[in-house]
């Protein structure tokens, strides 16, 4: 993907996963969202994990990101902007 793609702001954290609603995303359709499955994601150029699932309504899915094991306080990511790298 050349440049990083902005997904949106992280809204919640559940265990070792974070949730990003697609409503914050610009121009990401369900079809293109499916193509992001398994891609690495970052916050401030720091790779934090991978998109592990896409859930919710078809017209407004949510991205579920499984964090890599090195993060002790995933709640610190809430409110940060997430990018696909």
Q: Is 49 helix (H, G, I), strand (E, B) or coil?
A: strand
Distances (CA, A) of 59 to 2, 25, 39, 43, 66: 26, 12, 21, 25, 23
Tens of pLDDT along 56-78? 877 778 899 999 988 888 899 99
* Dihedral sign (CA 72, 9, 6, 24): positive
Report how far Cα 45 is from the mean position of its chain's Cα atoms. 13
Alpha-carbon span 44 to 52, nearest angstrom? 20
Structure tokens at 1: 């993907």
Per-residue pLDDT reduced to its tens digit, 12-26: 999 889 999 876 555
> What is the torsion angle, in degrees rounded to the nearest 10, for the CA atoms of residue 78, residue 16, residue 8 and residue 59?
-130
**pTM recorded for the entire structure:** 0.84
Domain boundaries, the chain: 5-65
């Amino acid at each position: 993907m050349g440049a990083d793609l902005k997904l949106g702001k992280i809204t919640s954290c559940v265990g070792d996963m974070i949730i990003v609603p697609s409503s914050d995303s610009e121009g990401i359709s369900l079809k293109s969202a499916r193509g992001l499955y398994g891609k690495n994601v970052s916050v401030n150029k720091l790779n934090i994990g991978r998109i592990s699932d896409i859930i919710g309504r078809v017209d407004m899915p949510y991205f579920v990101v499984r964090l890599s094991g090195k993060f002790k306080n995933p709640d610190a990511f809430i409110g940060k902007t997430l990018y696909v790298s």
